[in-house]
Amino acid sequence: MMEKMIFGRFIPGDSFVHQLDPRSKLIFTFIFVVIVFLANNVATYGLLLIFTLFVILISRIRLYFLINGLKPVIILVIFTFLIHILFTREGDVLLNLGFLEVYEGGLRQGIFISIRFVVLVFVTTILTLTTSPISITDGLEVLLNPLKKFKLPIHELALMMSIALRFIPTLMDETDKIMKAQMARGSDLGAGPIKDRIKAVVPLLVPLFVSAFKRAEDLATAMEVRGYRGGEGRTRYRQLKWDAKDTTCIFALVLMTALLVFFRS
Amino acid sequence: MTSTKTYGLVLTAFGAAIIAVLAQITIPLPLVPITGQTLAIGLIVTILGLKYGTLSVLVYCLLGAIGLPVFTGMSGGLSILVGPTGGYIIGFIPTALFMGWYLNKFGYTYIHGLIANVSGMMITLAFGTIWLKFVADMSLYAAFMAGAAPFILLEMMKGVIAAWVGILVRHRLLNANLLKLV
């Protein structure tokens, strides 16, 4: 569980996709999420599926992990499919059971929307499976850098993400300790009337916040004595490198967009 | 003496980390156990207030987006954000903004905490529903039946709990002079 919190869902590897710069992967994913909505007929949805399969293949991610990523949304995907089957009334009637009529348009729309979800989930899952949280944070900071002109605190956001990344496991540990300490003093989260159970959370939260405030103060002091004074002129320890692979990846995406625009009806 | 800016940055990061931890805690109740992130969001904004509350929520959502399993049930990743349930997560940010603004304006009392939290839950559900409508190409009614109706009662209850516990914890911290927000 601790490992999962530090590395997210990242699975180390050395496939083509793993070697890409986080910036090109981020650009790719964000544009892909948009162009998925261009698809509107059999040819374009087919293209999307083939393209996604190709990306899965070159990322050399085991299918098991991708299916896992689908889990949290699968119920809604099935539900949406059923809604379209039941309520979209276009085209010929395919099936008539008296109380239930399935239309051709409903079935087609249901399948299209399901493909849309599956493709979206797969491609975005591949991003987080092949890139560690810390390099995504670095990539995001560099990509969003131009927004600094509009006074958006990009460096600060990335820094806060890195700090949170580092301290989530620590705070989890701490919560566990506080829980055990309160249990040793006789508090019981799982018993008594509802009012008492909810109230039992208070002696858990107060020490958690107090310790967070204290740690925050210590860390802020530690940062400042080491000379932290904001993002201006700061150099970075982890350098990003853009090479031919990344250009190829963006080129493939442009080609895909052109094909989608050409074939859509 | 540390500057307030660095402390504020670090505090927000810790706020986001606390949400991530609390989102995984479950209070066992008969029938439906109370779980998750909506409760944690309500709590953090009620305790930390407008500025640090909202920023913590924003950082929390970003952490989820880059693949940390910080959302309910140890899930995470951009796929959650662009998927059919993404609207709830995106809705957390306006929810936090509204709640913080309301509490700052009317004061951190039980009754206002209750109003802020319950309406906050409604904002989250509204965003979830509208998002579902567009992403899944549904009618607004179907999206409401799928994305909001089954949860309204439970979310209201969570709102009540978040308000009660949140205000209680905030008062305790204030009384002990431990709430260091600047």
Structural domains for chain B: 2-175 (1.10.1760.20)
* Tokens, residue A199: 């109230």
C-beta atoms of A168 and B21 within 8 A: yes
Up-side HSE of residue A264: CA atoms within 13 Å toward CB? 14
C-beta atoms of B18 and A171 within 8 A: yes
- State the smallest CA–CA distance between residue A247 and chain B in angstroms: 22
Query: Distance between CA atoms of B136 and B133, rounded to whole angstroms?
Result: 6
- State the smallest CA–CA distance between residue B157 and chain A in angstroms: 12
Tell me how many degrees the CA angle B88-B58-B25 measures, rounded to the nearest 5.
Answer: 65
What are the distances in angstroms from CA B15 to CA A253, B55, B114? 38, 8, 21
| Closest CA relative to residue B152, chosen from B125, B112, B131, B128 | B125
- Asked if residue A5 has pLDDT above 60, the reply is no
Which one of A26, A33, A56, A168 makes the best mutation probe of the B interface by having the most chain B beta carbons within 10 Å? A168
C-beta atoms of A163 and B9 within 8 A: yes
Query: Distance between CA atoms of A35 and A39, rounded to whole angstroms?
Result: 7
Task: Give the SS3 label for residue A102.
Answer: strand
CB interface of B with A, residues 27-46, below 8 Å: 27-29, 43
| Closest CA relative to residue A154, chosen from A234, A254, A225 | A234
Up-side HSE of residue A123: CA atoms within 13 Å toward CB? 28
Query: Distance between CA atoms of B182 and B176, rounded to whole angstroms?
Result: 16
Task: Read off the pLDDT band of B30 (50, 70, 90).
Answer: low
Report the residue from B29, B47, B80 with minimal CB separation from A197: B29
| Chain segment A9-43, per-residue pLDDT in tens | 788 888 999 999 999 999 998 899 889 888 888 99
**pLDDT of res. A109:** 86
- Please list every residue in chain A whose beta carbon sits closer than 8 Å to the beta carbon of residue B14: 163-164, 167, 171, 212-213, 215-216
pLDDT, greater one: A248 or A95: A248
pTM assigned to the model: 0.81
Report the Cα A206 to chain-centroid distance in Å.
Answer: 31
Report the residue from A128, A164, A194 with minimal CB separation from B13: A164
Segment of A45-59, A95-109, B73-87 carrying the highest mean pLDDT: A45-59
Report the residue from B80, B84, B161 with minimal CB separation from A198: B161
**pLDDT of res. A218:** 92
Which residues make beta-bridge pairs with A96?
A101
Strand A93-96 relative to strand A101-103, pairing: antiparallel
| Chain segment A188-217, per-residue pLDDT in tens | 766 778 788 788 888 888 999 999 989 999
Report the Cα A191 to chain-centroid distance in Å.
Answer: 36
C-beta atoms of A72 and B172 within 8 A: no
* Tokens, residue A26: 């981020």
**pLDDT of res. B17:** 93
Report the residue from A127, A209, A223 with minimal CB separation from B78: A127
- Asked if residue A100 has pLDDT above 80, the reply is no
* Percent composition of chain B: helix, strand, coil (DSSP 3-state, to 5): 75, 5, 25
